[in-house]
Amino acid sequence: MLDASLTRGPAATPGAGARPSAALGRRSLTAARRGIVFPLGGSMMRKLVVVLALLAPLAGRAEADSPVGLWRTEAVGPRKAYLDVRVAPCGDALCGTVAATHNTRRTDLVGQVLMTGMVPDDDGGWSGGTIVAPDTGKSYAGTMRLDAGGLRVQGCVAVLCRTQTWERLN
């Protein structure tokens, strides 16, 4: 049983002349009888629930806007070879490592780091890093950006660029 002084306050204790329902309101008194105590009060609790409900979509959005995860590259070449690349934090930047190969005999690529040093830029993407083309082994200045189609990854040398859109696997 709840202590009456905790749920009703000192002015509404039995014998003090005040009606308990006047001090707490009907809903709070019912909750107190059931053993439910709202530490912030009923109206404050409702405000807190509303604020949390409004902020919940923002928490999910931050995670969805991150390129961290497993991605599938575009299929290239006569065999339509493609890779699964795991993008993960490495220090203050993001890096990408080959997790699996498909339709290729190049199993030696598994574990190879394809991207390094990708940091957030002012345009909402990631840049400043290096991307290695697994077919040639050459390094390029890299950028990546999330869009509706997936992760757009681009490697450039001077004005010549090669772009792929990767599909998110998880």
- Position 4 pLDDT exceeds 90: no
For residues 55 and 39, what is the distance between their CA atoms, to the nearest angstrom? 22
The 3-class secondary structure across 85-143, one letter per residue, is EEEEEECCEEEEEEEEEECCCCHHHCCCEEEEEEEECCCCCEEEEEEECCCCCCEEEEE
pLDDT of residue 97: 98
Residue 126 clears pLDDT 90, i.e. is over it: yes
Under 8 Å between Cβ of 133 and 109: no
d(C-alpha 111, C-alpha 34), whole Å: 59
- For the chain, the structural domain boundaries read 4-64, 69-168
Second-level CATH architecture of 69-168: Beta Barrel (2.40)
Q: What pLDDT score does 79 carry?
A: 92
Work out the pLDDT band at 117, boundaries 50, 70, 90: very high
Element (H, E) at 88: strand 82-90
Number of other CB atoms surrounding residue 73 within 10 Å:
22
pLDDT the model gives residue 62: 41
| Average pLDDT value for the chain | 78
pLDDT, greater one: 165 or 64: 165
pLDDT digits (tens, 9 = 90+) for 148-166: 999 999 999 999 999 999 9
Distance, in Å, from the CA atom of 115 to the CA atom of 86, rounded to the nearest integer, reads 10
